[in-house]
Chain A
Amino acid sequence: MAIWCTGLAIDRWRLSEGLARGQGADAEPLALIEDTAHGPRIAAANHAAQLAGAVPAMRLADARTLCPALGVRPADPAGDLALLESLALWSQRWGPWSALDPPDGLLIDTTGVAHLFGGERALLADAIHAFTRRGLGIRAALAPTAGAAWALAHFGPDAAIIAPADDPLRHLGDLPTAALRLDDDVILLLRRLGLKRLGDLHGLARDALARRFRNRRSAASNPLLRLDQLLGRLPEPLLPVISVTAPLVQRRLMEPIRHRILLDQVVTDLAGDMARLLEALGQGARRLELGMWKVDGEMAVRRLEMATATRDCAHICRLFATRLDDVDAGFGIELVRLRASWTEPLALAQVQLDAAAERHGTSLAACVDRLTVRLGPEAVRRPVPYASHLPERAQRWQPPLADLPSSQEELAFHHRPLKILDKAESVAVIYETPDGLPRRFRWRGEVHEIARAEGPERIAPEWWRERSTVRLRDYYRIEDATGRRYWIYRHGVIGDGRGGAPEWFIQGLFA
């Protein structure tokens, strides 16, 4: 079922003023205007104004010449959208699944619901009646596909219904091409081509249209895709509107509190409340926001993010305790509110039978949370492999409890060092020119005699992402006279035309 609120903005203004249709201020010509770069423009106009000649999308100055008595109010598109969202939730009484069709439409999936209302005709009549009782003017239609219902609601007869067995084109053939929900320029092009009705479009050869309209990404610019969606040959997913409320608990305090001990107590109580609330919902919190409203109008917010979903009261309190050290209570805190802005399903779990394991030690998630709260999320990470030849790019870092990305098993042809320096350090090397083994090198003020070396392992620059002047690297695995093992590389070769004499760097330390 498609519902089109014909005058959503004007109806909303009238309802907010508490007027009936055509009564009081609504009897005078009135327009809602929005500011554009070229001056005020009419966003919506009431019935009296439209009779006087002021239509939407007209400049206010033009409308004033036609109707000098035109009254204006500012338009509020955000408020209209909010009303539409609440209408979408409300209209789930006619079907379990509803979607927004901005700026002023709704789509409701009524599959298999009509018998509850006594047939499709009764369902549609009930919807129109309910909207009219709320003071909103609508047009509604029922059809097997969302596209057909939309076309009928906007351009078809009142309260039109297409039964699943009917041929949709018999009902829709006379509608204008604008009923296909196309962009303005595409409609203009179709009109210039002489294709004014849906029936004209359907009569053409498909490949002629396919050649002309090649954009297959956006359905709004391809009449063929829209026609297929309308006839049910292509799927058209709807984004449903689902109401989600963030679990929220709060404490109003009789006396403003100024001391940390009292605040800790309040936080403990709130965490307990939150744990009970989440347990009832079968959820665990990933992100918590603690808001503290002070007497003097200030407020302080502390946020917390957990590595896994949790509703462990003691754990939450402990994490907040480190975050509350720098809260300035001022003249006192009068309202404390805890909100779980991100929750994840967390089933009830069996308490460990082994009580000793429970008493001894924390779980890994709790440990990671405590470390992250004190040291920051950038400090606690785990390495993951990344497909790159360059050693410093071959590992990336991600949060410790996140899922591992899928990766190909790396080929263990070469030895890699146990540790790698964050930035390769420059070393002075004596080696057999032009590209022989290194003999001796100086690093951090100490000379190492190289006893054994293996190499070179040549790693070419990644040409698909780097400039053409980047030099290759020749890696050597070396061991000095006392047995210390390093991974050094020569940056470039003599005469490669990408700079002067090659430099040497130390990048890794073998165990």
Chain B
Amino acid sequence: MSEAAPTVDPARLAPGLVRGIGASERTPRWRPGLATGCALSELFASGRDASGAGLALALAQDALRMAVPDPAADMPDHRPFLWVQDKAALRLSGRPYLPGLPAEMRHRLIHVAATTPEDALFALEEGLRCRDLAFVIGEIAGNPRALDFTASRRLGLAAEKHGVPLWLIRLDAKHDLGASRMRWRVEAAPSPPPRWNAHAPGTTTWAAELFRAHTYQPGKWILRDDGPALVAQPYSNPATPDHGDLVHGAGDRSLAAF
């Protein structure tokens, strides 16, 4: 036994993690177009609008664009993606509508309408095990008993093992225990006025707060799907006036965001 098997150092950190003095400054900030490598992300959104699904699709597309293309592949990536909804989510926020999907994702959608959250979790896990899927979107309403920490961890492990990212949308849910590496809070934001008709709704805009992240500093952004890419602006609350050089109130934001 001269060649020992490579031992796993228990103190070795996962890629992207920073430890030690000044770790909070050295931790990178998230921005769009970053290959995060995060397999399971959760987006907490309201069931009264489609901002959660919209941002999940935009982030998934962003991740697909950033993914390193397979040098041996001679075809563009046209793998389908799975969109799983449980019955409550379907009733609350409707089902995907083909003419409204982004043009390049339109013919790649496979939709699963599960009845119970248990069935939805089964479908999500089966989707994550499938090597022919580009990504999986799950939509689950509320905090069902089946979606506990164990189930969440199970999904995360499956996603990491098979390299299929999962974007889990939680409609009207409390921030319960979960194993996702990035947790977002999403809501709709007023859109910029379009060029030709200032009274019409403009480009899709979200206010997204990354409130738990494994390898990134938390923060809040105004995100906009600008056609070819996702664009981020720092969040400025239009409701609170600017107090000049006074310090902003921390509010419910994480202190690390400053």
Contact = CB atoms under 8 A, between A and B. Distances in A.
B30 interface: no
A346 interface: no
A371 to B, nearest CB: 6
Interface string A361-386: 11110111011001100111111110
B169 to A, nearest CB: 11
Interface stretch (B19-27, B107-115, B208-216): B107-115
Contacts of A422: 90-91, 94-95
Nearest to B199: A452
A128 to B, nearest CB: 60
A254 interface: no
B205 interface: yes
A412 B255 CA distance: 45
A483 B99 contact: no
B129 A419 contact: no
A196 interface: no
A419 B130 contact: no
Interface in B76-106: 80, 90-91, 93-101, 103
B191 interface: yes
A166 interface: no
Contact of A362 (B99, B129, B225): B129
Contacts of A391: 97, 99
A229 B164 CA distance: 62
B100 A482 contact: no
B94 A509 contact: yes
Interface string A392-404: 0011010010001
A234 interface: no
A372 B132 CA distance: 17
Contacts of B57: 418, 511
Interface residues of B, number: 58
B189 interface: yes
A371 B126 contact: yes
Nearest to B49: A484
The residue in B57, B91, B132 that gathers the most chain A C-beta atoms within 10 A of its C-beta is B132
Size bin of chain A's contact surface: 35 or more
A444 B110 CA distance: 29
A379 B53 CA distance: 19
B141 to A, nearest CB: 13
Interface string B103-140: 10001011111110001001100110111110000000
A28 to B, nearest CB: 69
A394 B207 CA distance: 31
A478 interface: yes
A38 interface: no
Contact of B190 (A483, A486, A509): A483
B97 to A, nearest CB: 4
Contacts of B101: 418
Given A364-B80, A482-B190, A419 B97 contact: yes
A360 B162 contact: yes
Interface in B185-220: 187-191, 193, 197, 199-201, 204-205, 207
A500 B163 CA distance: 57
Contact of A419 (B80, B95, B103): B95
B151 to A, nearest CB: 16
A511 B98 contact: no
Contacts of B103: 412
A511 B129 contact: no
Nearest to A370: B126
A241 interface: no
A395 B129 CA distance: 29
A410 interface: yes
Given A367-B133, A508-B97, A452 B112 contact: no
Contact of A375 (B50, B96, B100, B123): B123
Given A364-B132, A484-B188, A511-B57, A418 B50 contact: yes
Given A362-B130, A375-B123, A483 B189 contact: yes
A383 B54 CA distance: 18
Contacts of B161: 360
Interface string B164-178: 100000000000000
B180 interface: no
Nearest to A478: B201
Contact of B98 (A374, A384, A486): A384
A418 B100 contact: yes
A441 interface: no
Nearest to B158: A361
B66 to A, nearest CB: 20
B122 A452 contact: no
B233 to A, nearest CB: 14
A420 B95 CA distance: 5
B129 A510 contact: no
A379 B114 contact: yes
B51 interface: yes
A475 B175 CA distance: 36
B113 A483 contact: no
B48 interface: yes
Contact of B133 (A364, A394, A485): A364
B166 to A, nearest CB: 14
Contact of B199 (A368, A380, A397, A453): A453
Given A404-B107, A454-B200, A482-B188, A417 B50 contact: yes
Given A363-B132, A364-B132, A483 B191 contact: yes
Given A375-B114, A379-B114, A367 B97 contact: no
Interface string B30-70: 00000000000000000011110111011000000000000
A418 B54 contact: yes
A419 B199 contact: no
Contact of A485 (B49, B111, B132): B49
Contacts of A357: 131
Given A452-B200, A510-B204, A511-B53, A419 B123 contact: no
Counting from the closest, the 6 A-B pairs by CB-CB distance are A511-B54, A361-B131, A454-B200, A364-B132, A367-B130, A479-B201
23 contacts: A357-B131, A361-B164, A367-B126, A371-B112, A374-B122, A375-B112, A379-B112, A381-B110, A382-B80, A385-B99, A397-B111, A416-B99, A418-B101, A421-B94, A422-B95, A452-B193, A454-B199, A454-B201, A483-B191, A483-B207, A508-B94, A510-B204, A511-B53
Given A360-B162, A420-B100, 10 more contacts: A362-B126, A379-B112, A380-B111, A417-B50, A420-B97, A421-B94, A444-B48, A478-B201, A485-B201, A510-B50
Interface of B: 48-51, 53-55, 57-58, 80, 90-91, 93-101, 103, 107, 109-115, 119, 122-123, 126-127, 129-133, 161-164, 187-191, 193, 197, 199-201, 204-205, 207, 225
